[in-house]
Amino acid sequence: MLFTGTSDHTIDTKSRLAIPAKHRSQVGESSAWYCVPWPGGVLRLYPESTFRELATRPEQSLTPSEDEASVEASVFGFAERLEPDGQGRIALPRLHLELTEIKSGEVVVLGVRNRLEVRERSAWEAQRQAQFARLPDLVGRLRQGGGA
């Protein structure tokens, strides 16, 4: 599955977000999503099949390092499985909205390879040009193995 593009959406007063139709059609109208809050004001939405595949990769261990165990506890502890309603909306957990400080309800949904990302629209618009401008530098650092 490959998610691309951006679209403007609204989180309603019941904290529901409509998954963009172009992305819903890729995973099936009734497919569940896993929502993982991420620092920097981002909600990461993974189709259930993708989340399960990534979560059960063979690198797992019964004796993870302290850092690995801490990351796993945070990621899996915060992750929530969300079932879409008949209109393709998912109810975003209030805790996730609080952690990511998504408050306005006006959001952008980004297709990001194997996931969708939900960001507050005003924050995305404020940093979009700077993010685009630093793209060559990020690519260069990744090619050199320096991470991002």
In this predicted model, which residue has the larger pLDDT, 63 or 135? 135
Q: Is residue 128 part of a domain?
A: no
Residue 68 has pLDDT above 90, yes or no: no
Confirm if 95 and 35 have CB atoms less than 8 A apart. no
Number of domains in the chain: 1
Q: Is residue 132 part of a domain?
A: no
Under the banding of pLDDT at 50, 70 and 90, the label for residue 137 is: very high
Mean pLDDT across the stretch 50-66?
83
In this predicted model, which residue has the larger pLDDT, 15 or 62? 15
Taking the C-alpha atoms of residue 67 and residue 96, their distance in angstroms, rounded to an integer, is 22
Taking the C-alpha atoms of residue 31 and residue 24, their distance in angstroms, rounded to an integer, is 8
Local structure of 46: helix, strand or coil: strand
Structure letter (DSSP) for residue 148: -
Residue 40 has pLDDT above 60, yes or no: yes
Under the banding of pLDDT at 50, 70 and 90, the label for residue 62 is: confident
Residue 22 has pLDDT above 80, yes or no: yes
Helices (H), 31-106: 48-55, 66-78, 94-100
Q: What pLDDT sits at residue 47?
A: 96
Contact partners, residue 35, CB within 8 Å, separation at least 6: 43, 44, 45, 79, 80, 82, 90, 92, 93, 96
Q: Is residue 33 part of a domain?
A: yes
Q: Tokens 């991470």 — which residue?
A: 147
Q: What pLDDT sits at residue 24?
A: 84
- The answer, as to whether pTM is greater than 0.75, is yes
Q: Is residue 17 part of a domain?
A: yes
Q: Tokens 């797992």 — which residue?
A: 60
Q: What pLDDT sits at residue 25?
A: 84
Q: Is residue 148 part of a domain?
A: no
Which CATH number is 80's domain given? Answer: 3.40.1550.20
Q: Is residue 142 part of a domain?
A: no
Q: Is residue 67 part of a domain?
A: yes
Q: Which domain holds residue 102?
A: 6-120
